[in-house]
């Protein structure tokens, strides 16, 4: 028998405080993955949670993104934190599967079966007799299989999620088209293209055409994303690391200025620049 002890719980999704009384609870399932399915059904069922019962697949969408980002950010850190965040993300899958099952669309077992079948089908070099020599051959084969599976698509770019962050989307779009031969021959060619884009950007600034300036900045970022792809660097990851580095260094400035008993607005740029250089050594 499992018991839920009385405790105070702050629910980050619902933004309110819940008191859970000590209530005996018997679960039918022993294995965690099946018990999670059972819990999803209980929360949605008669006598379940009013908040969960009110949800729809559309109302849950923001939480799926939120949990995905939190899991993403925890990778490479504390394993216990990563375990927790992966669990939160996993529950989102179960919650959506529960909603679908209530509408007689599919159940969580169907979700698992679909990905099992897909992975086997797209890895004929592992689960079949086909021989592929390197990762490039694997990627090419994967794309051919995927194209056959998605024969109703009119463009290979239809598979790129619409709501990806723009820099990541640029990276994925260029990955896709490069696999069908639409690509530069050398990274040096892309650097030449970057030089061209920078010159066009300077010209648009001199003309003070704001719409054109915005377009040229986009062209520059798109080209830089392509250079990153050539070098097998994810530009979204690279920019994220730089942003984190900047935040860390600026927070160092704030700490040092506070120790001086001053407000950051009262410091000269020269003072701040000196502390900035110190932050690089900390």
How many angstroms separate the CA atoms of 279 and 243, rounded?
A: 15
**Which CATH number is 2-120's, of 1.10.287.1080, 3.30.70.870, 1.25.10.10, 1.10.3720.10?**
1.10.287.1080
Per-domain residue ranges for the chain?
2-120, 156-233, 237-279
pTM summary value: 0.70
* pLDDT value of residue 24: 61
Q: What is the pLDDT of residues 138-171, one digit of tens each?
A: 988 988 898 888 888 889 898 898 889 999 999 9
Strand partners, 18: 9
CB of 25 within 8 A of CB of 35? no
Q: What is the pLDDT of residues 240-276, one digit of tens each?
A: 999 999 999 999 999 999 999 999 999 999 999 999 9
If pLDDT is split at 50, 70 and 90, which confidence band does 179 have?
confident
Q: Which fold has domain 156-233?
A: Helix Hairpins (1.10.287)
* pLDDT value of residue 139: 87
Q: Do domains 2-120 and 156-233 have the same CATH topology?
A: yes
């Amino acid at each position: 028998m499992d018991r839920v002890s009385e405790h105070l719980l702050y629910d980050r999704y619902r933004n309110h405080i819940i008191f859970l009384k000590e209530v005996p609870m018997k679960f039918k399932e022993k294995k965690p993955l099946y018990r999670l399915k059972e819990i999803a059904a209980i929360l949605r069922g008669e006598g379940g949670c009013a908040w969960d019962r009110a949800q729809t697949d559309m109302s849950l969408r923001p939480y799926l993104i939120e949990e995905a980002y939190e899991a993403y950010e925890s990778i490479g850190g504390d394993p216990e934190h990563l375990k927790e965040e992966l669990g939160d993300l996993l529950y989102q899958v179960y919650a959506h599967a529960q909603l679908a099952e209530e509408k007689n669309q599919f159940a969580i077992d169907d979700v698992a079966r679909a990905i099992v079948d897909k992975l086997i089908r797209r890895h004929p070099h592992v689960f079949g007799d086909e021989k592929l020599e390197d990762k490039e051959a694997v990627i090419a084969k994967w794309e051919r299989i995927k194209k056959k599976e998605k024969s109703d698509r009119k463009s290979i770019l239809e598979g790129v999620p619409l709501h990806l962050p723009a820099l990541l989307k640029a990276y994925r779009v260029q990955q896709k088209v490069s696999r069908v031969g639409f690509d530069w021959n050398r990274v040096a060619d892309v650097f030449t293209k970057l030089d061209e884009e920078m010159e066009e950007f300077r010209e648009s600034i001199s003309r003070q055409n704001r719409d054109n300036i915005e377009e040229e900045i986009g062209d520059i970022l798109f080209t830089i994303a392509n250079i990153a792809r050539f070098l097998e660097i994810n530009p979204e990851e690279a920019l994220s690391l730089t942003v984190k580095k900047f935040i860390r260094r600026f927070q160092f400035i704030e700490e040092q200025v506070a120790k001086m008993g001053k407000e950051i607005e009262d410091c000269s740029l020269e003072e701040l620049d000196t502390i900035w250089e110190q932050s690089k050594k900390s």
